[in-house]
Amino acid sequence: MSRIVVIGAGIGGMCAAARLAKLGHSVDVFEGSDQVGGKCRTEWIGKYAFDTGPSLLTLPAVYRDFFLKTGEPIEKVLELQPVNPSFDYKFADGSEVNFTNLSRHETLTSLSQNFGENVSTQWKVLMERAEKMWDVSREPFIESELTSPLSLLKRPTLLRDLFTIAPWKSLRELVRSVTDDEHLSYIIDRYATYSGSDPRKAPAVLLSIAFVEEAFGAWHIKGGIGQLALAIEERAKKLGVKFHVNSPVSSINHNGKKVSGITLNSGEKVTADVVVANADASTVYTHLISEKVRVLRRQRKSLAQSEPSLAGFSLLLGLKPDSEAPAMNHHTVLFPADYDAEFDSIFTHYKPVEEPTIYICAPRDESMSRTPGYESWFVLVNAPRHSTIGEGFDWSDENFARAYASKIISQIEARGIPLRNRIELLEVRTPADLEKSIGTPGGSIYGSSSNSARSAFMRARNRSPLKGLFCVGGSAHPGGGLPLVGISAEIVADAIGRA
Ligand SMILES: Cc1cc2nc3c(=O)[nH]c(=O)nc-3n(C[C@H](O)[C@H](O)[C@H](O)COP(=O)(O)OP(=O)(O)OC[C@H]3O[C@@H](n4cnc5c(N)ncnc54)[C@H](O)[C@@H]3O)c2cc1C
């Protein structure tokens, strides 16, 4: 049995902790903030509940596997609810299309009715390609510990796989080779932002995210997606994991080339055979470990070269009932007239987007409001990361944040969704808030972006060159978002192995 310390109680840290306890290790989780879940949490404010992080669960198989392998099936602890339509996409030209959850056939019909038969056929062509990309990348890349790019190059199917994935093409280039329809192109562009990236630079293989959503569905969890974090915590505790909240870690200690434990901000030292870091990898390598540790030089260099993911600016809206207001679907996306201006703003000019894509999550879940008829909406727009110096925007000005929120509300109303008169509660969350609450550098949503073909290889490896140190979560391989973070925990637990 090894003595294992996990730094951070995000989803990746807690899943790894539970899996490791199941393998027979003694596991302690040290969390810097006052609660578990990291970015994934459902917050109650007065009579309203909001998912302030993830509001869409895809590839639930990852968490089905987690709960089954650590004790009881997911159905015993959480109520997964399919969301239909999965998305309601509204465009600046007044057109609209609903994607039916778990049915390509109905989505094709919907595309054909709204944009014509050609566009519908183009979506089919794109999804067939995306499925092939998923098949090629899932097992050898996403679900495996990435020891070296060389291992991928040695595959006997290399040439065929390369042709499928087309690493030389951006997502935008691939899509434009199939369609010149702007509506379809905007829908696909949005999948690049699911990994915090710019579709003009992100690799074409991100198209597989669209396939995963279509094939395995868009899901909600009753009570909020944050329930996932609480259920994982409970499972970990049942397996004997000990949680220590309000316990920020100030350093990872080592003896030569091997970890020996951690030191907390309080000065307390905790010895350990293995340390699993769920804090952002750039923080781990630049702030928690002495820069004298030479074996980490290459990993540090890669992280320094990788571009952080975009961040998010969100509005939490508690709304009074209004019989005149149109009924909203669970997930609505209001696309702007010029999507590229958004990516230029975020990644080149580091400025809040003038006319952003607006995502509205209006859960049809009565357990997320204490008063029937009242609704809690989570509104999210992509934003440049927070920085007071250099590449980012200084989000710490509260007056600016409130004015920006008001602008977004006006833009929603301009699209025929009355809002201002219904608002009973309005809270704003900026990238600076996320950085402050859980130490995510710049408030980046997904760790590092995928803004180049090499970015996947620049992320922190799950197994660090410092013996006994492992990295798990959105800033480590295979990347951010709930499905990948859950997979990273499985990779790390498998790499550490049985007690
Ligand atoms: C606004 C927003 C919307 C999102 N929407 C979606 C979505 O719809 N679907 C989806 O799949 N994903 C979504 N994501 C991404 C998803 O939330 C993350 O990828 C995932 O939750 C990250 O988990 P993680 O394991 O990396 O841990 P994190 O959530 O990053 O948590 C890390 C933990 O480590 C702790 N920590 C940091 N430093 C220290 C230290 N020194 N000592 C102790 N503890 C420390 C932090 O306090 C935190 O609790 C969204 C994220 C955000 C912010």
Does the Cβ of 231 fall within 6 Å of ligand 1?
no
Does the Cβ of 33 fall within 6 Å of ligand 1?
yes
Does the Cβ of 430 fall within 6 Å of ligand 1?
no
**Whole-model pTM?**
0.97
Q: Residue 39 in contact with residue 27, Cβ under 8 Å?
A: no
At 194 the pLDDT is 95
DSSP 7: E
C-alpha of residue 146 to centroid of ligand 1, in Å: 21
Atom of ligand 1 nearest to the CA of 488: 25
Atom of ligand 1 nearest to the CA of 35: 49
At 418 the pLDDT is 94
Does the Cβ of 54 fall within 6 Å of ligand 1?
yes
Q: Residue 90 in contact with residue 96, Cβ under 8 Å?
A: yes
C-alpha of residue 310 to centroid of ligand 1, in Å: 14
At 231 the pLDDT is 98
Does the Cβ of 318 fall within 6 Å of ligand 1?
no
At 1 the pLDDT is 85
Atom of ligand 1 nearest to the CA of 482: 11
Does the Cβ of 229 fall within 6 Å of ligand 1?
no
Distance of alpha carbon 196 from alpha carbon 450, whole angstroms: 7
At 30 the pLDDT is 98
Domains of the chain and CATH, by start: 3-41+61-80+224-306+452-496 (3.50.50.60), 99-217 (no CATH), 310-441 (no CATH)
C-alpha of residue 90 to centroid of ligand 1, in Å: 29
Does the Cβ of 368 fall within 6 Å of ligand 1?
no
Does the Cβ of 196 fall within 6 Å of ligand 1?
no
Distance of alpha carbon 267 from alpha carbon 245, whole angstroms: 15
Does the Cβ of 39 fall within 6 Å of ligand 1?
yes
CA distance to 330, 333, 364, 384, 420, per residue, from 356 (Å):
19, 11, 25, 12, 19
Does the Cβ of 220 fall within 6 Å of ligand 1?
no
At 161 the pLDDT is 83
| Residue whose CA is at the smallest distance from ligand 1 atom 7 | 54
CB contact set of 42 (below 8 Å; sequence gap of 6+) = 49, 50, 51, 52, 223, 224, 225, 226, 227, 368
> In the numeric block, which tokens belong to residue 431?
């990238």
459: left (phi over 0), alpha (psi -120 to 50) or beta: beta
C-alpha of residue 376 to centroid of ligand 1, in Å: 22
Distance of alpha carbon 232 from alpha carbon 263, whole angstroms: 26
Does the Cβ of 226 fall within 6 Å of ligand 1?
no
At 157 the pLDDT is 81
* Under-70 pLDDT residues of the chain: 149, 499
| Residue whose CA is at the smallest distance from ligand 1 atom 6 | 54
Atom of ligand 1 nearest to the CA of 250: 41
At 304 the pLDDT is 87
C-alpha of residue 452 to centroid of ligand 1, in Å: 23
